[in-house]
Structure 1
């Protein structure tokens, strides 16, 4: 079968179009779309969290209940999980009910809850290679694309999240999954022989979100209802694939830390569960054995921030500062030593550009602090717990949908192109 390009299959096109599914515009009001820089998203304050907890109390009902609510239209919908503290409490309660042995870390492994589908991994990797998608998007950031298996393979996308407006202090975005659905519906509507469509494949780098602020429809819900619509109307199977776990609202490390610090209340058992989980993670990843390496994305952020500061102090044309980062995982002691060496190296380079001692000290201190901030052991532990909890959350969300839609297919893959 020969792949073919559709004329509309370009990155970031047609994002001004309104959603045709009956849902409102998607927004990043809660969690920014994975891979999107923090500058394009607004984080809620602690006061917002408290207020939203009150708003969601009626919507969520009991913390141990499922996350699907009936809307009376033969489709599914999630309760609003965009408030991170509320989401965390819901997950912890359901973990305790569904996974009574959740302190056994084997169940947290993504390969256990979402075993990698090797056949589908090969299929999606084939699409990426033939359509040269790796040349069109940044694989370190969120993107998605869809392929219609017809007489040929028809590509829709790839798409990245696009800002389409603003509501008060929040940016409104069309997530990449939304764009896939929108363009798929447009294409299928124009196809005369819909019965000849064999399968629709949708790939998204991160597992579809199921929590968006503003009571807007999350991607997991849209994909579930799209799958149902395609199967009921045309007997078309939709296979949704993802590479990395995202959860409801991305990393909840800060929220976990916040909950542990809260005074004992009606939810004190939740704090106790989290504290026990922290001890388990520390036992599995002791500080003495903890190793860290800065990823490409983190290195880019540090370089960008430092160069920006340097340019602001001395907008000298052609200025170049070389920053070297360890290529292999380092222990905390090794990493701190390496960063100190690089700090001294940057200091020597700055001398060549006649920076004042005060400015040199400021820039070097900034570089050193940014690097050390990323490898903080406590921060690592909370991020690890965030990954575990989000993995459980996606498994529970999948379970809820499957209980309502038998034909819903969500697979985790590993790209190998």
Structure 2
């Protein structure tokens, strides 16, 4: 799949870095043929589902393109960013469509179909917010079970690196500005609580100090260490801005405290993401087992193309 990405220069196409899919036909002779990439889109036709998934579009275009040329095709590869959906309202889920398509290609034309995906979608997509709500609910059976699972995930990932911002470069910059403002507002509020009004003039100096959140992946401990280094740099900058040593130390202490709090909250999200992925992975595995019980020609493979690094 990575060879296809580079061959068709898909690494230059921003589309496949988000929710999308494409297909490639490997021919008996000649170069491979690219179909797509496709992004989910709305559809106004009432006979079709509201959202046309990338898998829908891949299957539709493949059916048109290979019609009458089946004997020239050796294999078909279908890549989707997320694992094919397992449930859809008033429409056959993508997982079943792909299983039927694979069976038809194999049985009638002896063409092997490989379904490839990168990230788990599960039964209903990202469920981390639902897990948060359930783990804080009143039902002790659900709450205790989820907290036990969360603790297990925490033990497995306590030294795992993660990103503070989950989006692209622009989202990272926006989040950096937003959280920098949160920290400065917190320091301002606490300074006014802890010191006399004569010291409040130092607050204006705080807004000249730049706060950075790293874009690289780090462990929770590494993030805290990064924050401590920033606090030390902040102290030097405040001194250059003629802020008294006493107020400077209070500001730096407040900065590090709020920094650690924000990192802790992001780490909690990261753990819930991993728990969501684990539960969704289980759902996908069960679905694949059920499908393989009735068809031998269904191949679902998870890969990591690491498109962000291409």
Range class of TM-score, shorter chain: 0.5 to 0.7
**Residue 294 (str. 1) matches residue 173 (str. 2):** no
Give 1:261 deviation, angstroms.
Answer: 3.1
Match of residue 396, structure 1, among 283, 286, 291:
286
Counterpart of 2:86 in structure 1 is 210
For the 8 Å contact 1:144–1:205, the answer to whether it is kept is yes
Give 1:291 deviation, angstroms.
Answer: 5.4
Counterpart of 2:299 in structure 1 is 409
Counterpart of 2:23 in structure 1 is 146
Counterpart of 1:277 in structure 2 is 149
**Does the C-alpha gap of structure 1 residues 335 and 249 become closer, same or farther in structure 2, counting only changes over 3 Å?**
farther
Q: Deviations over 1:39-93 (max 9, x none)?
A: xxxxxxxxxxxxxxxxxxxxxxxxxxxxxxxxxxxxxxxxxxxxxxxxxxxxxxx
Segments of 5+ residues of structure 2 without an aligned counterpart are 179-209, 236-254
For the 8 Å contact 1:145–1:155, the answer to whether it is kept is yes
Give 1:185 deviation, angstroms.
Answer: 0.8
CA distance in 1: counterparts of 2:91 and 2:287, whole angstroms: 17
Match of residue 162, structure 1, among 41, 48, 52:
41
Q: Which shows bigger deviation, 374-383 or 255-264?
A: 374-383
SS at match of 1:376: helix
Counterpart of 2:70 in structure 1 is 194
Counterpart of 1:185 in structure 2 is 63
Q: Deviations over 1:96-153 (max 9, x none)?
A: xxxxxxxxxxxxxxxxxxxxxxxxxxxx122111111111234531221111122331
**When the two structures are superposed, what TM-score results if normalisation uses the length of structure 1?**
0.51
- Hey, which of these two has a bigger chunk of helix by percent? 2
CA distance in 2: counterparts of 1:163 and 1:322, whole angstroms: 40
SS at match of 2:81: strand
Q: Deviations over 1:325-384 (max 9, x none)?
A: 35351525335557879999xxxxxxxxxxxxxxxxxxxx9xx89x93784343332222
For the 8 Å contact 2:165–2:175, the answer to whether it is kept is no
**Does the C-alpha gap of structure 1 residues 198 and 166 become closer, same or farther in structure 2, counting only changes over 3 Å?**
closer
> Any residues of structure 2 matched to 1:124-135 within 5 Å, and which?
124-135=1-12
Q: Which has the higher contact order (CA 8 A, sep 6+)?
A: 1
Structure with max Cα Rg: 2
Q: How many residues align?
A: 255
Segments of 5+ residues of structure 1 without an aligned counterpart are 1-123, 309-320, 345-364
**Does the C-alpha gap of structure 1 residues 341 and 294 become closer, same or farther in structure 2, counting only changes over 3 Å?**
farther
For the 8 Å contact 1:181–1:226, the answer to whether it is kept is yes
How large is the RMSD of aligned CA atoms in angstroms? 4.0
For the 8 Å contact 2:161–2:217, the answer to whether it is kept is no
Q: Which shows bigger deviation, 406-415 or 327-336?
A: 327-336
Counterpart of 2:247 in structure 1 is none
CA distance in 2: counterparts of 1:134 and 1:284, whole angstroms: 32
Q: Which shows bigger deviation, 178-187 or 240-249?
A: 240-249
CA distance in 1: counterparts of 2:267 and 2:227, whole angstroms: 12
CA distance in 2: counterparts of 1:341 and 1:219, whole angstroms: 53
